Structure 1
Amino acid sequence: MLALTFTDLVSWIIAHGYFIFFFTALVEGPLVTTAAGVAAALGYYNIIIIVLIAIAGDLTADVIYYFIGYHSRILVIEHYGHRFGITRERIEKIEKMIHTNFRKTMLVIKLSPIIPIPGLIAIGASRVPLQKFIEISLLITMPRSLLFAFLGFYSGKAYAYLGNTITNGSYIMGGLILVIVVIYLIYQKITSNIAREANIE
């Protein structure tokens, strides 16, 4: 089922172009970026542009959540915080972590599959300087976007090569997609453990 879904995602990205890829990257960066990397390997897109769009999409989403927290601290916490997993206690915990080690706090929040949105909103609510926020966000976003874009790209290249030399190309594609999905799930597991150990879930 995961393999089928990923194949559909690749086809969907191929059909809709760079512009739509940017907006999907706002929501689900790693998986969508990997799918776009596969599409680039198959000749539909330029991999460098895919990487740049993935970075821009991820950073744009971060800044949006930052400003929600920065300009609506009381409103977010008191009225809508529970919908995003944001409580006064979590804000206070993140504020303490920011003062102790801001880079580590950003790394935990950005890599966790569970707390990115409430964490980024909480950082904005903590009034961290925007320039500092963007600099650290970029340092984390760039290597992650490169990793997933080229994971998809080289998986797609491997499929194209093996498909020309070996029969049963559908099995090859299924195997490569399985590898991508396994790597993605391992990434999710590792980042979830990082957040759990940091005790801000």
Structure 2
Amino acid sequence: MPSPIQKRSLVDIALEQIRIRIDEGTWPLGKRLPPEPELAETLGMSRNTVREAVRVLTFSGVLEVRQGDGTYVRACANPLDTMLVLARSSVEQALEARGIIEVEASRLAAQRRSEADILALRAALEASAVRHGGALDDYIEHDLIFHQRVVDSAHNPVLSELYRYFSQVIRAGLERTIGDPGRPQPSFELHRELLDAIERGDADAAASANRALLI
């Protein structure tokens, strides 16, 4: 019996298309990539998808974003092998890795968050709450935004970039866990408990609420 074909994300496809053009010499080492709108049109993808692919390639060292100048090809290291390893991880493995990042980030966020962080967290949570129980893709998109805001509130750029790099695996894991009627689901109110703990600066409660969300 043939094995099922694994659905590839649009970001994976964008990564591959950019890599092919680098390997073929369209954008050689040191070359500046086209501006984002032109790059999106060239690849036939949305600007959001292209932006995320560029972010991944920048984090992996293939591209370099020069503020006010553009995005340049920096190296020819291939991040696709890493992406494939992440994509093949089990739900349990992804949850373990997510917990390592998120739980500690929640603790740090409670200690370091600013008033601007709290406002951003509130807005992201309300956007997620409106979509809870609705279309799965839309809810997951906004749930990830909320959790990214939590990680960003730790004010550790390494944690923030790691989480962004890992976000596609988290998305796939959420699709499998939230979409599984036989799997117990955490209460959405845990998100509010997490935000409340961060807002009042209770690091232990924030870590506990985030841990409870990762079932």
Q: Report the TM-score when normalising by structure 1.
A: 0.29
Normalising by structure 2, we get a TM-score of 0.27
